[in-house]
Amino acid sequence: MRKVAGVLSLLMALAISLLAGPLYANESQAVKRTVAPSKYDVTKEVTLEGTIQSLVRKPAPGTIMGAHLMVSTGHGTVDAHIGNYFVVGKYAMPFASGESVKLVGIMATINHQSVFLVRTLQTGNSTITVRSDHGFLIYPGAKTHLASISSTGGAR
Amino acid sequence: MNFKTLLVAMAVAIPMLITGCSNTPKGSGGTGTVTITTVPPASLEVNQSATIAATASGGLTAGGIDWSCTPIGTCGTFDPTSTASGGTTVYTAPRTAGAVSIVAASATTPTITKSVSVNITAVATATNITGSYTFFANGVDLNGVAYSVAGSIVINGAMGTVTSGEQDYFDLTSPTIFASDPITTGSITVGSDGRGTLSLTPTSAPAETFSITVVNNDHILITEFDSGATASGSLDLQTAPTSVPTGGNAFALLDTAGADAFGGVLTSNGTISTASEADDDLSGSPDFDFTMAAAFTAPDVNGRGTITFTDPNFGLFTVAYYVVGPEAFRLIEFDGVGFAVGSMYGQGTGTFSASSLSTKFVFGESGIEDGVSGIGVYSAAGQFQGNGTSALTSGVADVNLGDGTPVLAGSLTTGTTYFANADGYAGLAFTGATTDGLMNFGVYLIDPAINVADPNNSSGGGGAVMLDLDTDNIGVGIVPPQGTSPTFTGNFAYSMDGVFETATTFAYYGLVGEVTSDGTSKVAGLADYNELNTAQTPAVTLAGTYTADATNAGRSTMQLTINGAASPNNLTLYQASSSLVLHVDVDSTGVGLGTIGLGTFEQQQ
């Protein structure tokens, strides 16, 4: 059924495109649309491995909003920000104390406090995407397109 | 009657005969009369003021006048409460409608008085809020995840009831998206100052309670006022429920959960788009000027139809639209692919060009940001004017990324370019140096006859909807035109929502209420304040002082104290017209990370 729905969606998209008639995209005047380099720099990502100490649903004031994981690593406890989408709702995960995790992300300083911004989180055999490559928290069910994000962005 | 009794009777009767019936001294002080020489208008709207004066004659002159009114406690105030004979005082009407008697009394002989009646009129009544209305509210739920609702309802204002309706609703804490959900019952109340409550009971989704403030009978600001969510939007008279977007349309959608934004212009034949130019920002990857196809279904009896967009960079997604009027639609995604919400406006029959942005405009936008820039949400507001070709002749903006260092009146002119195509697809490109990194605005021009903030309002039309299309910020907003020499006087509906963070606490919040501006430096009023996770507090006090920016006409700064808080919120105001002011909160590190907030003042009419 899922397959059928997928095919139907594809056909619908095709039909809409065909029916769309004459189009006048790209007629804008020559205005340079410069896209700044992302402050979230994937080239500076590091991987941390450790065990979950605790899940902090309501973090201390002054820290970045959303849920944090306190993770014990070989270099001490790391405050890892994961946002709320894997803590409440359809995609909530248990995040049990003592559970092993592998985190990929970058260290950042928000309001004079260090925080590890998690982009992907691996527990057991599953890896979840917490952030986009540009550092935005993303709701897991809504991002099936992420793998095929357009390459048309950038300087024009 | 003996002689002694006769003397007593004469002692009482003679003074009465001398001074007449109403202003006769009855035993103490001097003699004379009190006359109200500058009378208030026969009727006065709630919270409004009038300058009045009275004189005292004869032996009463030196003592002057004491002012009072009835019914005591609910009849208004005087500033000052005592005046010299002939001096003026400012009477301010109460917040509730009804008959009031203003009394000028001799300070020397308080029993000598003169009264005048004033009818205090309401700015709105529930009875006048009757018919089909379209509403939307966007925000976050108790767990800080995306929450939105949009729909249409039938209101019987005289009865104070909502008799039917339909809505689309998502709350990411819930696994269920409630699409096309019938609304079975509800209620509405409206006070004399336009503040009130709207409660809705859908068939499947949880019940919603909104605090509301009436701007006019066709346009009402709303904010969710329950412990489930804080979400802000509006309730607008639905004038043509059978309308499908046709002709030229501008649209802007933001999905805070998926971190995506979509916007542009499209031409519709009522079934499909026949032309378009669009932008998107997919989690920090903006795409500019591509073709986005759309297919429409006709609205149902409640004015709900659907639009399926095909974004070549994203794929297919479907939103419900709820008709406000032939050229205004509220959009909410219900397919679970994403959670986009926004608006679509008609563009009229004319064409656009770079000169379309050569007059003055203000803008206000809010959205999400990457984890590095700040606490996760941001807002900005500003004003600008194009030179008719490609540069801005003036412009400043206030930007608050929630990093503790908001930009105040950052210049928008240096290095900025803009364009506007014949179809209304436009954009502004900044260097980012004075806008905290904001660099690309997608601007989608609307019908000059449509008011982007109040779609049923026949004045204040034009402008645009907009997107912020950046790698670190993704936002949505409006761009109303800016009038010449607007005033800021009278009763205004006030809204604001966002998040605040201090050294000890933080919360998402929303508030809606009513303030009165004196036109020079002060506002005061009441609002219902939903501080999610903490409390829903009705009727908190708002007291603000504002100062015009001498360098940038149209921009003002305001210190607004909410509920008597020790630290006021620092707002920057950008005035579009005498009816509309956009404001952005620009608190600094003085109160933790401060407040991120965006909202409007909209004059009650």
B258/A142 CB distance under 8 A: yes
A20/B315 CB distance under 8 A: no
Element (H, E) at A9: helix A2-19
Print pLDDT tens along chain A (156 aa): 333 344 434 334 434 333 333 333 444 555 678 899 999 999 999 999 999 999 998 877 777 888 999 999 999 999 999 999 999 988 999 999 999 999 999 999 887 789 999 999 999 889 999 999 999 999 987 655 443 333 333 322
B153 touches chain A (CB under 8 A): no
Question: How many CA atoms lie within 13 Å of B475's alpha carbon, on the beta-carbon side?
Answer: 28
Distances (CA, A) of A154 to A34, A138, B255, B288: 6, 21, 21, 9
- CATH for B247-346 is 2.40.128.120
B195–chain A nearest CA distance, Å: 32
Residue closest to B292 by CA, chosen among B142, B442, B148: B442
A150/B287 CB distance under 8 A: yes
Contacting A residues, span 61-120, partner chain B, CB-CB under 8 Å: 61-62, 64-66, 81, 84-85, 87-90, 106, 108, 110-111, 115, 117
Residue to substitute from A131, A145, A146, A148, interface B, most B β-carbons within 10 A: A145
pLDDT of residue B588: 66
A85/B373 CB distance under 8 A: no
Residues written for chain A: 156
* Rounded-to-integer distance, Cα B531 and Cα B508, Å: 6
Instruction: Write out B104-165 in H/E/C secondary structure.
Output: EEECCCCCCEEEEEEEEECCCCHHHCCEEEEEEEEEEECCCCEEEEEEEEEEECCCCEEEEE
B372 touches chain A (CB under 8 A): yes
Distances (CA, A) of B430 to B365, B437, B598: 16, 9, 21
A9–chain B nearest CA distance, Å: 7
- Residue pair B571/B584 in contact (Cβ under 8 Å)? The answer is yes
Residues of A in contact with B374 (CB under 8 A): 110
Residue closest to B368 by CA, chosen among A86, A33, A139: A139
Q: How far is CA B183 from the centre of its chain?
A: 26
Each domain of chain B, given as residue ranges in start order, spans 3-121, 126-237, 247-346
* Rounded-to-integer distance, Cα B328 and Cα B321, Å: 10
Kindly tell me if the per-residue pLDDT of B505 is higher than 80.
no
Structure tokens at B594: 């401060």
Give the DSSP letter of residue A60.
P
More confident position, B593 or B243: B243
B14 pLDDT band, cuts 50/70/90, is: very low
Give the DSSP letter of residue B434.
T
A60 touches chain B (CB under 8 A): no
More confident position, B347 or B7: B347
A100–chain B nearest CA distance, Å: 24
Residue closest to B51 by CA, chosen among B38, B42, B70, B35: B38
pLDDT of residue B533: 84
Q: Could you give the angle at the alpha carbon of B319 between the alpha carbons of B317 and B325, nearest 5°?
A: 145
A65, A69, A70, A74 alpha-carbon torsion, rounded to 10°: -130
B273–chain A nearest CA distance, Å: 6
Q: At residue B523, what are phi and psi to the nearest 5 degrees?
A: -130, 150
Task: Provide the number of CB pairs (under 8 Å) joining chain A to chain B.
Answer: 244
pLDDT of residue B500: 86
* Rounded-to-integer distance, Cα B437 and Cα B434, Å: 7
CATH classification for the domain delimited by B3-121, as one of 1.10.1520.10, 3.30.420.40, 3.10.20.440, 2.60.40.1080: 2.60.40.1080
Kindly tell me if the per-residue pLDDT of B97 is higher than 70.
yes
B275/A24 CB distance under 8 A: yes
pLDDT of residue A31: 66
Structure tokens at B75: 């009849």
B72 touches chain A (CB under 8 A): no
Residues of A in contact with B317 (CB under 8 A): none
Residues of B in contact with A19 (CB under 8 A): 272, 293, 295
pLDDT of residue B596: 85
Q: What is the mean pLDDT of chain B?
A: 93
Of B67-81, B88-102, B340-354, B394-408, minimum mean pLDDT range: B394-408
B285/A87 CB distance under 8 A: no
Average pLDDT in the B543-567 region? 95
B361 pLDDT band, cuts 50/70/90, is: very high
> A17 to chain B: nearest residue by CA?
B293
β-strand B98-106 against B113-121: which pairing, if any? antiparallel
More confident position, B324 or A34: B324
- Residue pair B408/B586 in contact (Cβ under 8 Å)? The answer is yes
* Rounded-to-integer distance, Cα B357 and Cα B337, Å: 35
B593 pLDDT band, cuts 50/70/90, is: low
Domains B126-237 and B247-346 share a fold: yes
B105 touches chain A (CB under 8 A): no
B234–chain A nearest CA distance, Å: 26
B440/A33 CB distance under 8 A: yes
pLDDT of residue B18: 34
Residues of B in contact with A149 (CB under 8 A): 282-283, 285, 313
CATH architecture of the region B126-237: Beta Barrel (2.40)
Residues of A in contact with B257 (CB under 8 A): 85, 138-139, 142
A16/B310 CB distance under 8 A: yes
B400–chain A nearest CA distance, Å: 14
pLDDT of residue B367: 97
pLDDT of residue B28: 56
Instruction: Write out B339-375 in H/E/C secondary structure.
Output: CCEEEEEECCCCCCCHHHHCCEEEEEEEEEECCCCCC
Residues of A in contact with B503 (CB under 8 A): 61-62
- Amino acid at position A49, single letter: E
pLDDT of residue B17: 35
B439 touches chain A (CB under 8 A): yes
Residue to substitute from B254, B292, B430, B471, interface A, most A β-carbons within 10 A: B471
* Rounded-to-integer distance, Cα B434 and Cα B411, Å: 6
A115–chain B nearest CA distance, Å: 10
B283/A146 CB distance under 8 A: yes
Residue to substitute from A7, A137, A148, interface B, most B β-carbons within 10 A: A137
Kindly tell me if the per-residue pLDDT of B13 is higher than 90.
no
B51–chain A nearest CA distance, Å: 48
* Rounded-to-integer distance, Cα A58 and Cα B249, Å: 42
Q: What domains does chain A contain, in order, with CATH numbers?
A: 42-142 (2.40.50.140)
pLDDT of residue B371: 84
B429/A34 CB distance under 8 A: yes
Plot region of B539 (φ>0 → left; ψ -120 to 50 → alpha; else → beta): left
Q: Is the pTM of this model over 0.80?
A: yes
- Residue pair B321/B331 in contact (Cβ under 8 Å)? The answer is yes
- Residue pair B157/B133 in contact (Cβ under 8 Å)? The answer is no
Cβ neighbours of A6 (radius 10 Å): 10
pLDDT of residue B48: 95
Contacting B residues, span 242-261, partner chain A, CB-CB under 8 Å: 255, 257-260
Q: Which residues contact B358 (CB under 8 A, 6 or more apart)?
A: B385, B386, B387, B388
A136/B174 CB distance under 8 A: no
* Rounded-to-integer distance, Cα B542 and Cα B527, Å: 7
Structure tokens at A46: 């590091």
Closest in B255, B276, B370 to A40, CB measured: B370
Residues of A in contact with B263 (CB under 8 A): none
* Rounded-to-integer distance, Cα A100 and Cα A51, Å: 4
Q: Which residue has the tokens 């592998």?
A: A102
Residues of B in contact with A31 (CB under 8 A): 390, 417-419, 427, 429
Give chain A's radius of gyration (CA, Å).
Answer: 20
Biggest CA pair distance of chain A: 61
B27 touches chain A (CB under 8 A): no
Strand runs (DSSP E) across B245-374, as ranges?
247-255, 260-268, 273-282, 285-290, 293-296, 304-311, 315-325, 328-333, 341-346, 360-369
Biggest CA pair distance of chain B: 110
Residues of B in contact with A22 (CB under 8 A): 274-275
- Residue pair B330/B299 in contact (Cβ under 8 Å)? The answer is no
B143 touches chain A (CB under 8 A): yes
Kindly tell me if the per-residue pLDDT of B526 is higher than 80.
yes
pLDDT of residue B464: 98
B313 touches chain A (CB under 8 A): yes
- Residue pair B464/B250 in contact (Cβ under 8 Å)? The answer is yes
Residue closest to B442 by CA, chosen among B215, B246, B281, B587: B281
Chain segment B262-315, per-residue pLDDT in tens: 999 999 999 999 999 999 999 999 999 999 999 999 999 999 999 999 999 999
Closest in A25, A65, A87 to B277, CB measured: A25
β-strand A76-81 against A113-123: which pairing, if any? parallel
* Rounded-to-integer distance, Cα B190 and Cα B135, Å: 17
Residues of B in contact with A80 (CB under 8 A): none
* Rounded-to-integer distance, Cα B540 and Cα B543, Å: 10
Residues written for chain B: 605
Kindly tell me if the per-residue pLDDT of B559 is higher than 90.
yes
- Residue pair B390/B354 in contact (Cβ under 8 Å)? The answer is yes
Average pLDDT in the B448-459 region? 97
> B506 to chain A: nearest residue by CA?
A61
pLDDT of residue A143: 53
What percentage of residues in chain B have a pLDDT greater than 90? 88
Distances (CA, A) of B453 to B222, B233, B447: 13, 10, 13
